[in-house]
């Protein structure tokens, strides 16, 4: 498409310029790459912190910087002054906010990191969107908001007031803060509750990458709850497909249905983004073993209090709105990840 002109789902021609926070992160990298491929100009910000290997973030960034329509700023979302500056100078149509402190097993000593990044940082981004008339803010929430009392399959219309972790509590707070801005300032916001996203260029602290690396190095892996915990593993390409559909379709304040926790008369919406097919973690390990042709050494440990027994996404609202739902099965996704893993790490050795 010439000149950055795009067509949204309705076929309308639009000029695209998007800010992606957390652009050097896992989902941020894939989202930015796809936006660039469809002809958009993208400004990315990331603080390149050391929550996991910084080199992986730099390698993702190197891929993105090969495209002349991509500009990067090393900025933390906690830095309100510089976030405001980037937003004021950008003239953005949309903001996709994927930056934040991840991890459900946060020790008490890290509470300030979660508050700074996930609460203060989120408010900085929202205020910048409000002040600069951004058309749509799409932000990352999490399946972990459902907590201990959720009944699977988890619906975005369920009450989510009993999170099990500090991380989950900050993500739920993001949803409430977003509604206040949507209601008071008519800032269209959409929250996406991601369910265990995996795939090439993934996070090394997540199960798929962590298990693969340990098996490849002959090290033991730890499984919680006898490996019976169920997770709704969702392939990253499916996630990005949804992000792009959502960002092109901001919610309005003309909602005519029954108001629910996922909707409002304000321009506000929440969707689940999951594969809707929970798989036991021990089955994940088996699929990795098959793909690698190697057996895992497994140690079993008690389930941490912050971990949920099951995650299972009900994505009916998403399918109703966009006619699309994640479809990549876990075996196919694992095969693609293992192929990338071998290629990436062989190049690193060279």
Is-contact 132 84, C-beta < 8 A? no
Q: How far apart are CA 96 and CA 190, in angstroms?
A: 10
> Which of residues 292 and 13 earns the better pLDDT score?
292
Is-contact 206 283, C-beta < 8 A? no
> Helices H, strands E: what count in the chain?
11, 15
Is-contact 156 270, C-beta < 8 A? yes
> Which of residues 106 and 284 earns the better pLDDT score?
284
Active site residue 198: no
Closest alpha carbon to 150 in 241, 319, 256, 274: 274
Q: How far apart are CA 82 and CA 85, in angstroms?
A: 5
Q: Is the pLDDT of residue 6 over 60?
A: no
Say whether 191 sits in a helix, a strand or coil: strand
Q: Report DSSP letters for 150-168, one per residue.
A: --SSBPTTS-----SSHHH
Average pLDDT over residues 257-273: 88
pLDDT bin (cut points 50, 70, 90) of residue 260 is confident
Say whether 221 sits in a helix, a strand or coil: strand
Q: Is the pLDDT of residue 7 over 80?
A: no
pLDDT bin (cut points 50, 70, 90) of residue 1 is very low
The catalytic residue among 52, 114, 146, 167 is: 167
Of 133-142, 240-249, 303-312, the least confident: 303-312
Assign domain 2-349 to a CATH class.
Answer: alpha beta
Q: How far apart are CA 235 and CA 199, in angstroms?
A: 6
pLDDT at site 9: 43
pLDDT per position as a tens digit, 107-134: 888 899 999 999 999 999 999 999 999 9
The token pair that represents 301 in the structure block: 């440990």
Residue 59's Cα: distance from chain center in Å?
A: 19
Residue 116's Cα: distance from chain center in Å?
A: 18
The token pair that represents 177 in the structure block: 């803060």
Calculate what percentage of the chain has a pLDDT beyond 90: 85
pLDDT bin (cut points 50, 70, 90) of residue 104 is confident
Q: How far apart are CA 133 and CA 197, in angstroms?
A: 31
> What's the pTM?
0.93
pLDDT per position as a tens digit, 266-295: 999 999 999 999 999 999 999 999 999 999
Is-contact 233 326, C-beta < 8 A? no
């Amino acid at each position: 498409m010439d000149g950055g002109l795009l067509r949204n789902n309705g076929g309308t021609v639009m000029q695209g310029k998007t800010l992606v926070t957390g652009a050097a992160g896992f989902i941020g990298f894939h989202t930015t790459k796809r936006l660039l491929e469809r002809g958009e100009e993208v400004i990315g910000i990331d603080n390149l912190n050391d929550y996991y290997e910084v080199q992986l973030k730099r390698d993702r960034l190197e891929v993105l910087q090969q495209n002349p329509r991509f500009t990067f700023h090393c900025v933390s979302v906690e830095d309100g002054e510089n976030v405001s500056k980037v937003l004021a100078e950008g003239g953005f149509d949309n903001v996709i906010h994927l930056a934040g402190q991840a991890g459900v097993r946060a020790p008490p000593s890290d509470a300030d990191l979660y508050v700074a990044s996930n609460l203060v940082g989120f408010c900085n981004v929202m205020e910048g969107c409000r002040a600069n008339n951004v058309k749509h803010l799409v932000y990352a929430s999490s399946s972990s908001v459902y907590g201990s009392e959720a009944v699977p399959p988890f619906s975005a219309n369920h009450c989510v007031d009993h999170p099990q972790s500090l991380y989950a509590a900050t993500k739920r707070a993001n949803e409430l803060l977003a509604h206040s801005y949507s209601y008071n300032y008519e800032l269209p916001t959409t929250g996406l509750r991601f369910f265990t996203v995996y795939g090439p260029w993934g996070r090394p602290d997540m199960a798929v990458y962590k298990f693969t690396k340990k098996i490849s190095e002959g090290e033991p892996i730890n499984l919680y709850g006898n490996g019976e915990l169920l997770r709704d593993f969702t392939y990253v390409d499916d996630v990005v497909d949804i992000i792009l559909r959502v960002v092109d379709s901001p919610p309005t304040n003309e909602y005519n249905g029954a108001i629910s926790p996922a909707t409002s008369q304000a321009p506000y919406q929440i969707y689940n983004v999951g594969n809707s097919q929970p798989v036991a973690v021990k089955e994940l390990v088996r699929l990795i073993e098959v793909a690698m042709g190697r057996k895992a050494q497994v140690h079993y440990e008690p389930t941490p209090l912050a971990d949920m027994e099951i995650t299972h996404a009900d994505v009916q609202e998403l399918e109703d709105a966009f006619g699309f739902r994640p479809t990549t099965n876990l075996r196919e996704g694992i095969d693609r990840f293992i192929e990338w893993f071998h290629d990436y790490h062989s190049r690193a050795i060279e």
